[in-house]
Amino acid sequence: MAISPSLSPGRDAAGASSDSPEAHRVLILPGWQDSDADHWQSRWVALHGYERVEQSDWLWPRRGDWMARLDEVVQSDDRPVVLVAHSLGCHLVAAWSAHSAHAARVQAALLVAPPDTERPDMPPQLHNWRPINRRRLPFACCAVISSDDPYGSHERSLGLCSEWGAEVVEAGARGHLNSVSGLGDWPEGHAALQDLIRRARQTG
């Protein structure tokens, strides 16, 4: 399924802004080594006022430490949460939601380019993210994947998204959907996020 071109970034289908700070918090979850200034996640923080979840160690990411940090941030505010994860951040969402008592606070999650951390050529810094948590996510989720992601085969990505219960959006040949993919502000991705939030509210 292609990303819908019918929605404008930052607006829901009814035309009302779904970026209202009173409605929910959007938490940005970068992957390994954080997202640089040209990354669409960093651009969304600047453009839309979303909150980046800062981790204490971006170079040697310990799964338990990242989960504890996300739990702390989710509990720091009473508003419902929308998660926007890239790369290793997708595995953070999966692992955290399987163990946290606060997963019910999440309205929806956008998962972009989840890597295959079980591949034998993955760097040692990521070995503690094995095995992959494959439990179905307990909230609405949409995964955007690329057909030529260097960190995971298309077939494996589809299988993982199916196990997570995520709707799949095919982005075409866009690499790892990061700052070198030429996405800019990635308005198509933001439209997909707004559509996901709208649908989660309707069904929730």
What does the pLDDT average to over 135-160? 98
Q: What is the pLDDT of residues 81-130, one digit of tens each?
A: 999 999 999 999 999 999 999 999 999 999 999 999 999 999 999 999 99
| Residue 63 resides in a domain | yes
User: What mean pLDDT is predicted for residues 138-161?
Assistant: 98
Evaluate whether residue 147 is within a structural domain. yes
> Is 102 a member of any domain?
yes
pLDDT of 184 over the 50 cut: yes
CATH classification at residue 125? 3.40.50.1820
The long-range contacts involving 49-53, CB below 8 angstroms and separated by at least 24 positions, are 49/19, 49/21, 50/26, 50/84, 51/25, 51/26, 51/27, 52/27, 52/28, 53/27, 53/28, 53/29
Quote the number of domains for the chain.
1
Single pTM value for the model: 0.90
Please state the rounded mean pLDDT for residues 60-81.
Answer: 98
Domain that holds residue 68: 25-203
Is the pLDDT at 17 greater than 50? The verdict is no
- The average pLDDT across 190-202 equals 96
Q: What amino acid occupies position 176?
A: H
The confidence score (pLDDT) of residue 135 equals: 98
14 is a domain residue: no
Whether 3 maps to a domain, the answer reads: no
Report the SS3 class of residue 112: strand
**Does 35 score more than 70 pLDDT?**
yes
Residue 23 is predicted with a pLDDT of 86
Domain-embedded: residue 33: yes
7, part of any domain: no
5 assigned to some structural domain: no
- pLDDT value for 112: 99
What pLDDT shows up at residue 137? 99
Residue 1: pLDDT band (50, 70, 90) is very low
Strand, coil or helix: 182: coil
